[in-house]
């Protein structure tokens, strides 16, 4: 691979870089590592369009990692509501407190890896983008571009090829240039090779088969699980509880109910809310109860947004409210 290909990509990036609230423009002083870290945690499994307004709210409310570390779990989890993958939020809280306690983020990739929730990619991204280290963060966009440029059929081959190609001293900009290229030009389907600064050096483009790289792994079908949720109303309020701190949706506001199982319950539900988790699909059956169950609180319906319900339970409450309206509508 020609070094000039990397130069051409960086040149292209300088004039086309996406404007993102967690990013410094090319050539500007580096971004605060707090913003790099926060954005990278939010962007895991979530799109830029969804993350952007949520990121802005977070940094307005907690402008520094110290401020975030002082916030309560409930405040942070409520602010996170709707972003999904709540284990990330719990790791975010643990990481903020660990960094605040030690005084600042460590600067090396190896030390960053020791922080709660920081995997190899996030640690490399903070080291490269936040601290200017020669680290090589490989996310799905970078992986796709590198696999195509080198015509690598296996994703396992990508990190070595990427390391060999990565220019020293410009790691952060190069990573962001590849991320942008993957998001805008070297897209999973119908890559715009004619607009790509890497076209002259790209083996997949030369083979005229860019879309076959990297080879896709067949997805397993997601298993189905079922749960019950107790639906208790009083006036204009619904009974909510807080889930146990550990496990899926740990610490989040929720409707009360027993553990989810693989068997569908023989119940006649008021409504059913379906939600796709990473490893399974859940059908949550709402069962009306005259008395509230468990330790919780009456949440006024007009103030539901403040409860910080995760998407599953927000959908369930919406389904319950809609179901309550049905007999009246039919009447
Ligand atoms: S030439 Fe095409 S396949 Fe190759 S990196 Fe550019 S957009 Fe991707």
Angle of helix 73-80 relative to helix 48-61, nearest 10 degrees, comes to 150
Ligand 1 site-directed mutation target among 152, 202, 213, most atoms within 8 Å of CB: 202
The whole-chain average pLDDT of the chain stands at 92
38: enclosing H helix or E strand = helix 33-43
pLDDT-based confidence at residue 12 (cuts at 50, 70, 90): very high
Mutate to test the pocket of ligand 1, among 2, 143, 210 (most ligand atoms within 8 A of CB): 210
Strands 233-234 and 237-242: antiparallel
**CATH pick for 31-131 out of 1.10.340.30, 2.40.50.100, 3.40.50.300, 1.10.10.60:** 1.10.340.30
Q: Is the pLDDT of residue 31 over 60?
A: yes
Q: Ligand 1 in contact with 182 (CB < 6 A)?
A: no
Q: Which of 112, 100, 106 is nearest to 66 (CA)?
A: 100
Among 7, 40, 259, 303, the one annotated catalytic: 40
What one-character-per-residue DSSP string does 217-230 give? PPPPPPPEEEEEEE
Whether residue 202 has its Cβ less than 6 Å from ligand 1: yes
**Mean pLDDT, residues 256-273 taken together:** 87
Check pLDDT > 80 for residue 127.
yes
CB 210 near ligand 1, within 6 Å: yes
Ligand 1 center to residue 15 CA distance, Å?
18
For residue 214, cis peptide bond before it (omega within 30 degrees of 0): yes
**Residue count (the chain):** 331
Is 217 a residue whose pLDDT tops 70? yes
Of 199, 245, 192, 232, the residue nearest 316 (C-alpha): 232
Region 245-273 average pLDDT: 88
The per-residue pLDDT for 256 is 96
Q: Is 40 a catalytic residue?
A: yes
Positive or negative: CA dihedral 61, 64, 66, 69: positive
Phi, psi of 208 (to 5 degrees): 65, 25
pLDDT at 324: 87
Residue 229 has pLDDT above 70, yes or no: yes
- What is the per-residue pLDDT for 221? 83
Among 6-20, 77-91, 92-106, 171-185, name the one with the lowest average pLDDT: 77-91
pLDDT at 1 over 70: no
Least confident of 77-91, 105-119, 223-237: 77-91
pLDDT higher than threshold 70 for residue 329: no
Tell me how far the alpha carbon of residue 143 is from its chain's centroid: 17
Fold of 1-16+133-218: Endonuclease Iii, domain 2 (1.10.1670)
CA gyration radius, the chain? 23
In contact, 89 and 77? CB cutoff 8 Å: yes
Q: How far is the CA of 295 from the centre of ligand 1 (A)?
A: 56
Domains 1-16+133-218 and 31-131 share a fold: no
- Domain 224-330: CATH class, spelled out: alpha beta
Domain boundaries, the chain: 1-16+133-218, 31-131, 224-330
- Cβ contact 231:270 at 8 Å: yes
Tell me the mean pLDDT in the region 175-182: 96
pLDDT at 330 (0 to 100)? 37
Residue 137 reports pLDDT greater than 80? yes
Q: Ligand 1, atom 8: nearest CA belongs to which residue?
A: 186
């Amino acid at each position: 691979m020609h070094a000039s290909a990397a130069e051409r990509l960086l040149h292209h990036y300088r004039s086309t870089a996406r404007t993102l609230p967690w990013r410094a423009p090319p050539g500007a002083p580096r971004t605060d590592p707090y913003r790099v870290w926060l954005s990278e945690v939010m962007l895991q499994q979530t799109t830029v369009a969804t993350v952007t307004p949520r990121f802005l709210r977070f940094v307005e409310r907690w402008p520094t990692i110290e401020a975030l570390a002082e916030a309560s779990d409930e405040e942070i989890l409520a602010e996170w509501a709707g972003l999904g993958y709540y284990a990330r939020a719990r790791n975010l809280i643990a990481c903020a407190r660990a960094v605040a306690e030690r005084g600042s983020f460590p600067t090396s990739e190896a030390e960053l890896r020791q922080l709660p929730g920081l995997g190899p990619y996030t640690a490399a991204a903070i080291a490269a983008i936040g601290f200017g280290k020669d680290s090589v963060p490989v996310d799905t966009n970078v992986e796709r571009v590198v696999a195509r440029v080198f015509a690598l059929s296996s994703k396992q081959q990508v990190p070595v090829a990427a390391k060999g190609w990565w220019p020293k001293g410009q790691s952060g900009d190069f990573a962001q240039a590849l991320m942008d290229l993957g998001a805008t030009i070297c897209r999973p389907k119908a890559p715009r090779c004619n607009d790509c600064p890497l076209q002259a050096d790209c083996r997949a483009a030369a083979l005229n088969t860019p879309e076959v790289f990297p080879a896709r792994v067949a997805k397993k079908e997601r298993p189905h699980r079922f749960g019950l949720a107790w639906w208790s109303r009083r006036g204009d309020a619904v009974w909510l509880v807080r889930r146990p701190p550990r496990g899926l949706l740990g610490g989040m506001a929720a409707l009360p109910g027993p553990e989810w199982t693989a068997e569908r319950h023989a119940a006649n539900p008021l409504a059913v809310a379906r939600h796709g988790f990473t490893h399974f699909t859940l059908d949550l059956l709402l069962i009306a109860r005259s008395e509230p169950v468990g330790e919780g609180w009456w949440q006024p319906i007009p103030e539901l947004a403040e409860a910080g319900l995760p998407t599953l339970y927000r959908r369930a409450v919406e389904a319950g409210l809609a179901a309550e309206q049905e007999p009246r509508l039919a009447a």
